[in-house]
Amino acid sequence: MSSERPIQSPGNQFTPNNPLPQEAKLPNEIATFSPEVIAEMDAHIAKYPVRRSAILPLMFIVQRERGGYLDPPGVAFLADKLGVRITDIWEVATFYSMINTEPVGKYHLQVCRTLSCKILGADKITEHCTQKLGIKPGETTEDGIFSLSEVECLGSCGTAPMMQIGFDYYENLTTEKVDGLLERCRGGGMSNGVR
Amino acid sequence: MSSESIKVTINGSDYQVEKGARLIDVCRSNGHAVPSFCYYSDLALQASCRTCLVRIEKMPKLQTSCTITCTDGMIVTTESDEIEKARRGMVEFLLANHPLDCPVCDRGGECELQEMVFDWGGLEERFRERKNYAPEKYLSPVVANDPQRCILCKRCTRVCDEWMGEDAIEAGGRGVNTVIGTYGGWLNCSQCGNCIEVCPTGTLLDGTYRHQARPWELEQTITTCTFCSDGCQMSLGSRGGEVMRAVARDRYVNGINGEFLCIKGRFAHPFVNHEERLRTPMIRYRKGGKLIPATWDQALEFAANKLRETADAHGAEAIGVVGSPRITNEANYALLKFANEVVGTSNYTATDRFSLAPFFESLGAGLATHRDIRFAKTIVLVGGEPEELQPLTGKQIRQAVRNGGAKLIVINSRAIRLQQQAAQFIHIRPGAEDAAVLALADERFDELAAKKLGVDASELSTARGTVLDTEGNCIIMFGGELSPAAQSLLAQIPHAASTDKRRFLFHPLPLYNNSVGAHDIGLMGGAHTASSLLGAAGAEIRALYVAGSFLPDHLRGQEEALSKLDLLIVQELFETETTRYADVVLPAASFAETDGTFTNNDGLVQRVRASIPPAHQSKPDWMITAALAQTLGMDFNFQMSASTVFRELAERTTAYNGMRYPLLKDETKPVQAKHAIAPRRDLADEIEALRLSIESLDETAEKIMGTPPVGHELFKPGELTGKVPQFHLLAAGNPKPPDVLISPLYQITIDAGLRRTDEAVAVAGD
């Protein structure tokens, strides 16, 4: 299927920036991307027999390009690109803790809270982050640098407790190690998975 | 599905069942109760509630009977201590997060979870964890949501996807935090409310009925919907002379539509008790004067005297009688009898948008029922937009394609939403539907038609090929775009193309609940149409007796016609454009206040039952007509009983011969009218006329691009739906209020600016 395929009337669907969705054919605002990014997306879509199967890789790309989260124009773009409803995007996006539907800080600390990590002191790691940064899980620091979340198992139980920042795992954590990580983040010396 | 029979043993009893049958259905139909939440007939399987567990021999664990297909020799146990324990455990899990706020829940008293707990619930709760809390809110002007009550059966999401094709409501989040919701927290869809209907708990609730009444206070009356030609069966819940709600829950009613209703059927009933209903008969003693309230005797006497005067002065043919496709068969029959026997005029008609008379005259095959549509092999849709104008038909088409693998051919001038389901979509120029019919019926005209339609000739031959390759039922549907000649031609196609393996069925798409009935009674067979009757007003037509009102379509361009009449008698629910010039206005009873029958587009004659007594001084239409006849000295001998009217009607209407109210009482076994199948006719004249009219079509006309938005017809505030505030909100674009925790109606003032009154008013089906 070519990308010029007729759009499956996302105009019928809610878009937060469009108060009169019944009137509009397309959402008033729809994200645009550079040709290189579109090519990257098309390469993912080409891998699957069904277009909408590419929803996860495309979400990561849109998240990367739109400042770390799926903003409404980005969601409208995805619905259009994949030929699904906006609600379908919402459904998938809220299922995965790696996909953010709200703005997050530059560094998103995702502390695993499932069994192995919990037993080996994930609570202490979270508590330490809370004290250091002054934010509870689910919140973002005022300067917009850090967000803190507790997430379900990240599959690194042998090295518990652990957290994920960007696409990287930081394992066998102690409070000292966390301090070091936070310092490196402040110094800008870490990848956050976003350009 | 093969009809091979296999043996299944359930609780020690042997049953012969069809191969491929689902175990839960077999258990239930043979009297072995199996509880379930997430299983819903004809929807995708979910198997998430785990309450339908049964023991099947040679299988290691308890199995969910909703996902098991019966196999030969299967031995099943549905009741044992083990199963009891498992089910009690499942119900305990379901209740782990349920607030148990039944005393303040709208669903209390008719809640499936409540019933399940009566049967399988424990005496005490062992979970001590904090329950998830979420405040109640609104998802749209008509859908209220109480997320914490949800047990995640996902019936709503499946119904939204599979029935409506809208995917407007989905499950977000994961694990214990899963919620049913929408992107942006506001539901933008056709607002059918089927998610409310299938919800087994009080999670999704009717926003218009919120905290209004408890189910056990309501008197449930099974009746037929008054909003479109599909004739959905529903149950009106009334209390103290007020209609509180309309539902199709299978505990109350089980008609052709199952639990399906559309936005109009479900939410547009408040017009029945609206404050603007006409309260008393009214007389305008002097042209240009005011309507003065009067008693029934005065009004009937006044009308009768004036009718006599007109007949004496200008003859009986100067009087026109106009019925309505919105009122019951009984009412239309009384009007026809009035025209024929009291007045003696041939100038009668009904205010329908288009006549089906040419179609029924040439009818080459029977009418399809909605069940036939669901299991059809090929569906040809010429014109029309069922999803907006006949929503049940739209749903059946979608399910036929998605669940039944039917091939859908859509021939339309607009890319209607159903074309997404279509095997073939022929996008034609507006107004060229006739040409498509001509090409379907006769391949000689392919080239001509293709040129005028703006399509490739091969598209037409492909469509014809699909029809001729069908093995099984081929259903032809058509909307009001067709000319009379095209209707005849289409209706005769079966004579040429039927074989032993292929059966044709028709499904006309008229706009009104009793369009087919008005035709069957013979009211559409008068000397005039509604428009031509208005054109003759003041000339050969001096007086009109109208039940209901003329449509805006009829009045367009001849708005002054009614003022030219010597006498205009109108029986109506509300003041309308037609009552503006009326000399006598008689308040009529609405569909919720009258007994009778509607005939739907399947030809099913279905009962309408009085749910409440007639509002104010109104009377059923047929009673008014009979009273007027009485005043004129003719006793119709209806004995104040709708069943007497229907008996006489059935005797005099060929298609209804033999019908009686007792035969129609069961909505689960609807009775189809016996429309006569016309023999093969020579249609050379029609074909020639069609060819000429098609040749004059514009070859350069622009095609209409773009898919019409969901609800563009459904939300139009019409004469009846306009009385419901929610429809004004939806027509104004369904704006999301700043805080949706309180009812949207409290937050958005329904001011004049929001009311869309221009072309949007009363176009169809409302």
Is A11 a domain residue?
Answer: no
Please determine, for residue A158, whether its predicted confidence score (pLDDT) is greater than 80.
yes
Domain count, chain A: 2
Per-residue model confidence (pLDDT) at position B10: 94
Residue B167 · residue A88 · CB < 8 Å = yes
Among B315-319, B620-624, B741-745, the minimum mean pLDDT is found in: B741-745
- Say whether A22 and B188 touch across the interface (CB within 8 A): yes
Average pLDDT along chain A: 82
- Say whether B188 and A95 touch across the interface (CB within 8 A): no
- Say whether A9 and B166 touch across the interface (CB within 8 A): no
- Tell me which residue range forms the domain holding A41: 35-95
Pairing type for strands A146-151 and A107-112 reads parallel
Average pLDDT over residues B565-570: 95
Per-residue model confidence (pLDDT) at position A18: 29
Task: Give the closest-approach CA distance of B179 to chain A in angstroms.
Answer: 10
Among B56-65, B71-80, B94-103, B235-244, the minimum mean pLDDT is found in: B94-103
Average pLDDT over residues B327-339: 96
- Say whether A85 and B168 touch across the interface (CB within 8 A): yes
Residue in A14, A75, A90 closest to B170 by CB: A90
Is A1 a domain residue?
Answer: no
Tell me, yes or no, if B715 comes closer than 8 A to chain A by beta carbon: yes
Average pLDDT over residues A143-160: 90
Three-state secondary structure readout of B231-253: CCEEEEEEECCEEEEEECCCCCC
Average pLDDT over residues B235-239: 95
Final residue of a structural domain among A48, A72, A95: A95
Q: Which of residues 67-126 of A touch B (CB under 8 A)?
A: 72, 75, 84-91, 94-96
Average pLDDT over residues A156-160: 92
Average pLDDT along chain B: 91
Q: pLDDT tens across A37-51, in order?
A: 999 999 999 999 999
Residues A69 and A126 in one domain: no
Average pLDDT over residues B158-179: 88
Residues A117 and A87 in one domain: no
Average pLDDT over residues B145-174: 91
Query: Residue B713's closest chain A neighbor by CA?
Result: A22
Three-state secondary structure readout of B730-763: HHCCCCCCCCCCCCHHHHCCCCCCCCCCCCCCCC
Task: Note the pTM of the prediction, 2 decimals.
Answer: 0.90
pLDDT bucket at A194, cuts 50 / 70 / 90: low
Residue in B181, B420, B711 closest to A8 by CB: B420
pLDDT bucket at B239, cuts 50 / 70 / 90: very high
Residues A81 and A136 in one domain: no
Residues A124 and A175 in one domain: yes
Q: pLDDT tens across B468-512, in order?
A: 999 999 999 999 999 999 999 999 999 988 888 999 999 999 999
Residue B766 · residue B268 · CB < 8 Å = yes
Please determine, for residue B619, whether its predicted confidence score (pLDDT) is greater than 80.
yes
pLDDT bucket at B751, cuts 50 / 70 / 90: low
Residue B112 · residue B98 · CB < 8 Å = no
The conformational region for residue B83 under phi > 0 = left, psi -120 to 50 = alpha, else beta, is alpha
Q: pLDDT tens across B350-360, in order?
A: 999 999 999 99
Q: pLDDT tens across B287-312, in order?
A: 889 999 999 999 999 999 999 999 99
Tell me, yes or no, if A2 comes closer than 8 A to chain B by beta carbon: no
Q: What percent of chain B has pLDDT over 70?
A: 97
Residue B450 · residue B459 · CB < 8 Å = yes
Please determine, for residue A24, whether its predicted confidence score (pLDDT) is greater than 60.
no
Tell me, yes or no, if A18 comes closer than 8 A to chain B by beta carbon: no
Residue B366 · residue B674 · CB < 8 Å = no
Q: Which residues of A touch B171 (CB under 8 A)?
A: 91
Per-residue model confidence (pLDDT) at position B753: 52
Residues A51 and A90 in one domain: yes
Per-residue model confidence (pLDDT) at position A5: 38
Per-residue model confidence (pLDDT) at position B325: 95
Per-residue model confidence (pLDDT) at position B750: 52
Please determine, for residue A12, whether its predicted confidence score (pLDDT) is greater than 80.
no
Q: Which residues of B374-408 are buried (b: 16+ CB within 10 A; e: fewer)?
A: bebbbbbbbbbbbbbbbbbbbbbbbbbbeeeebbb
Per-residue model confidence (pLDDT) at position A21: 29
Residue in A11, A22, A87 closest to B168 by CB: A87
Residues A83 and A142 in one domain: no
Q: Which residues of A touch B711 (CB under 8 A)?
A: 22
Long-range pairs for B532-540: beta carbons < 8 A, 24 or more residues apart: B533/B320, B533/B322, B533/B347, B533/B349, B534/B558, B534/B561, B534/B562, B535/B561, B536/B320, B537/B561, B537/B562, B537/B564, B537/B565, B538/B564, B538/B565, B540/B317, B540/B318
- Say whether A11 and B709 touch across the interface (CB within 8 A): yes
- Say whether A87 and B715 touch across the interface (CB within 8 A): no
Task: Give the closest-approach CA distance of A19 to chain B in angstroms.
Answer: 6
- Say whether B734 and A94 touch across the interface (CB within 8 A): no
Residue in B182, B420, B712 closest to A14 by CB: B182
- Say whether B183 and A87 touch across the interface (CB within 8 A): yes
Is A172 a domain residue?
Answer: yes
Please determine, for residue B444, whether its predicted confidence score (pLDDT) is greater than 60.
yes
Please determine, for residue B555, whether its predicted confidence score (pLDDT) is greater than 80.
yes
Tell me, yes or no, if B710 comes closer than 8 A to chain A by beta carbon: yes
CATH code for the domain in which residue A121 is found: 3.40.30.10
**Cα–Cα distance, A68 to A182 (Å, whole number):** 19
Final residue of a structural domain among A95, A116, A146: A95
Tell me, yes or no, if B736 comes closer than 8 A to chain A by beta carbon: yes
Query: Residue B187's closest chain A neighbor by CA?
Result: A14
Token pair 């919990």: residue = A118
Residues A76 and A130 in one domain: no
Q: Can you read off the two tokens belonging to residue B671?
A: 């009775």
Residues A86 and A112 in one domain: no
Is A62 a domain residue?
Answer: yes
Q: pLDDT tens across B121-140, in order?
A: 888 888 888 787 788 889 99
Max CA distance (Å), chain B? 91
Residues A119 and A168 in one domain: yes
Task: Tell me the backbone φ, ψ of residue A38, rounded to 5 degrees.
Answer: -60, -40
Task: Tell me the backbone φ, ψ of residue B676, rounded to 5 degrees.
Answer: -70, 135
Three-state secondary structure readout of B428-457: CCCCCHHHHHHHHHCHHHHHHHHHHHCCCH
Residues A139 and A86 in one domain: no
pLDDT bucket at B737, cuts 50 / 70 / 90: confident
Q: A interface mutation test: which of B140, B143, B154, B183 has the most A CBs within 10 A?
A: B183
All structural domains of chain B, each given as residue ranges with its CATH number in brackets, are 5-94 (3.10.20.740), 282-356+515-668 (3.40.50.740), 371-508 (3.40.228.10)
Please determine, for residue B2, whether its predicted confidence score (pLDDT) is greater than 70.
no
**How many beta carbons lie within 10 A of that of residue B674, not counting itself?**
14
Q: Which residues does B707 contact at the CB level (< 8 Å), separation at least 6?
A: A9, A11, A12, B414, B415, B416, B417, B419
Residues A46 and A87 in one domain: yes
Final residue of a structural domain among A44, A66, A95: A95
Average pLDDT over residues B594-606: 95
pLDDT bucket at B48, cuts 50 / 70 / 90: confident
Residue B743 · residue B138 · CB < 8 Å = yes
**How many beta carbons lie within 10 A of that of residue A96, not counting itself?**
14
Is A77 a domain residue?
Answer: yes
Is A102 a domain residue?
Answer: no
**Cα–Cα distance, B614 to B591 (Å, whole number):** 10
Is A84 a domain residue?
Answer: yes
| ipTM of the modeled complex | 0.80
Please determine, for residue A15, whether its predicted confidence score (pLDDT) is greater than 90.
no
Please determine, for residue A193, whether its predicted confidence score (pLDDT) is greater than 80.
no
Residues A89 and A111 in one domain: no
Is A6 a domain residue?
Answer: no
Task: Give the closest-approach CA distance of A120 to chain B in angstroms.
Answer: 23
